């Protein structure tokens, strides 16, 4: 069975009135081993560093940062989108080489959305690919939902696949999916635990 890869989305946490400490504690209590911190509209460097420090205090799993390579010294890995990779260098292999020079052996993931991007990713020095969107999601507003056909695409990947987009904690997938990226459903579980108190 695929493992949970938690998504800690700063904007979603603020909208949901859930703190970084609450989500990090939930991940630790539920023995989740990997999480990605995403802050698409950082107010400043201090906000990101403060969040990463809080997560590190409460969560012992691997911590990945989305996009912000400048914070790689504070985390276990980096996740990049297709556009972010191209902004480093238009040639994907060269872009990944540049990233690898900066992050070394740390975890490197890349977003993919279709078969063409998966096949291109197969030749890159990655640790996993993100593949989505599986369903509509609250963490991204404008997203193309591909649904179950992603499961067929995943079979073509030479890298472990983390399926993303409206994925729930109780979703089950076949061997082609290594990780379930869960964001909104974790927020729902945390809010539900407050309502029971």
Instruction: Tell me what pLDDT residue 142 has.
Output: 59
Options 3.40.50.1970, 3.60.15.10, 3.20.20.70, 3.10.20.740; CATH for 3-196 is 3.20.20.70
88-137 per-position pLDDT tens digit: 999 999 999 999 999 999 999 999 999 999 999 999 999 999 999 999 87
Q: Angle 20-29/45-58 helices, nearest 10 degrees?
A: 30
Report which of 12, 13, 6 is spatially closest to residue 138, judged by C-alpha positions: 12
Report which of 106, 32, 44, 34 is spatially closest to residue 69, judged by C-alpha positions: 106
Q: Omega before 133 cis (within 30°)?
A: yes
Domain boundaries, the chain: 3-196
Q: Are 98 and 79 in contact (CB under 8 A)?
A: no
CB-based burial label for 106 (10 Å; 0-12, 13-18, 19+): middle
CA gyration radius, the chain: 16
pTM of the model: 0.94
DSSP character at residue 103 = H
57-88 per-position pLDDT tens digit: 999 999 999 999 999 999 999 999 999 999 99
Instruction: Tell me what pLDDT residue 161 has.
Output: 98
Mean pLDDT of the chain: 93
Instruction: Tell me what pLDDT residue 42 has.
Output: 60
DSSP character at residue 59 = -
Report which of 138, 120, 137 is spatially closest to residue 129, judged by C-alpha positions: 120
Round to whole Å and give the CA distance between 113 and 164.
Answer: 10
Instruction: Tell me what pLDDT residue 144 has.
Output: 79
């Amino acid at each position: 069975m695929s493992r949970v890869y938690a998504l800690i989305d700063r904007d979603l946490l603020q909208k949901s009135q859930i703190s970084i400490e609450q989500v990090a504690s939930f991940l630790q209590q539920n023995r989740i081993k990997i999480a990605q911190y995403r802050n698409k509209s950082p107010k400043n460097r201090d906000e990101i560093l403060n969040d990463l420090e809080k997560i590190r205090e409460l969560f012992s799993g691997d911590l990945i940062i989305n996009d912000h390579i400048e914070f790689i010294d504070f985390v276990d890995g980096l996740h990049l989108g297709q556009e972010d990779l191209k902004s480093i260098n238009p040639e994907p292999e060269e872009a990944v080489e540049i990233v690898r020079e900066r992050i070394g052996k740390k975890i490197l993931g890349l977003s993919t959305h279709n078969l063409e991007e998966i096949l291109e990713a197969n030749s890159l020095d990655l640790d996993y690919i993100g593949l989505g969107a599986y369903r509509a999601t609250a963490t991204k507003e404008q997203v193309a939902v591909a649904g179950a056909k992603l499961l067929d695409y995943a079979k073509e990947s030479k890298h472990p696949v983390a399926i993303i987009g409206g994925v729930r904690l109780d979703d089950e997938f076949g061997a082609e999916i290594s990780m379930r990226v869960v964001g909104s459903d974790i927020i729902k579980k945390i809010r539900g635990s407050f309502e029971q108190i």
